[in-house]
Amino acid sequence: MDRVSGRIGQDFFAGGHSKGGNLAVYAAMNCREDTRERIRKIFNNDGPGFRPEIREAGNFQAIQGRVAKFIPRSSLVGMILEDNSEYEIVESWGMGLFQHNTYSWKIEEGSLVRAKNMAEAKVRRDAALNEWILSLSEEEIHVFIDTLYEVVSASEASNVFEFGADWKKCLQNIIQAAKGLDDTTRKAIHKITHSLFEILLESVKAGNPILFGQFKQKKYHGL
């Protein structure tokens, strides 16, 4: 950002989609102060947030008021490590994870169509996901991400990533696809997915005791 801004003779906007949105915010946090002062707005379109230590190490507070974050109603990627910063929810023609595609976002009269809110169950799911991610070591996160990449490469992404509405199905698909991996990686995936299952179980219990009983009875043994 420092290099590119040197070629711009005026204030500028930064932004991106998904990982690009995350990188735009990261660059704005960590660029030179004179560069940061020239940034008018940073757009994070359904991009993930950051672990607390990353925000603290950067200058997030210096740019927080200039970050504009947009997420679709069924956002998954954009809610990863979401730090409770302000964001706007938009409507989409897509279903589930396919709402991540910005070309599916609804536009009327040149503006994104805002949605009212997210379902309470989704809010609990997002909180459970972030609790799980923050509980992992850096090595476990790397193992999980690397394995997910292998799983997606070997499978149809739509089958693996349709866990926006059905975590159980997704985790079972991951475990099934991971059977061809080496023992060490497979055991790591089993451990990680099991920890997520336990957190989800507690989340469901806190939000709906009756649903918790039904959910617990259906506990699968693939982990």
Strand partners, 112: 107
Is the pLDDT confidence value at 126 over 80?
A: no
What pLDDT score was predicted for residue 214? Answer: 45
Q: Using an 8 Å Cβ cutoff, are 99 and 75 in contact?
A: yes
* Cβ count near 100 (within 10 Å): 23
Instruction: Name the nearest CA neighbour of 129 among 86, 91, 172, 77.
Output: 77
What pLDDT score was predicted for residue 124? Answer: 73
The token pair that represents 97 in the structure block: 């994870």
The whole-number average pLDDT for the span 55-83 is 87
- Mean pLDDT taken over the chain: 76
Convert the pLDDT of each residue in 127-170 to its tens digit.
777 787 788 787 877 776 666 556 554 434 443 344 444 556 66
The token pair that represents 59 in the structure block: 């200058």
> At residue 109, what are phi and psi to the nearest 5 degrees?
55, 40
Where is mean pLDDT largest: 32-46, 68-82, 166-180, 189-203? 32-46
pTM of the model: 0.67
Instruction: Name the nearest CA neighbour of 49 among 161, 162, 134.
Output: 134
Share of the chain above pLDDT 70, in %: 61
CA distance 140 to 152: 18
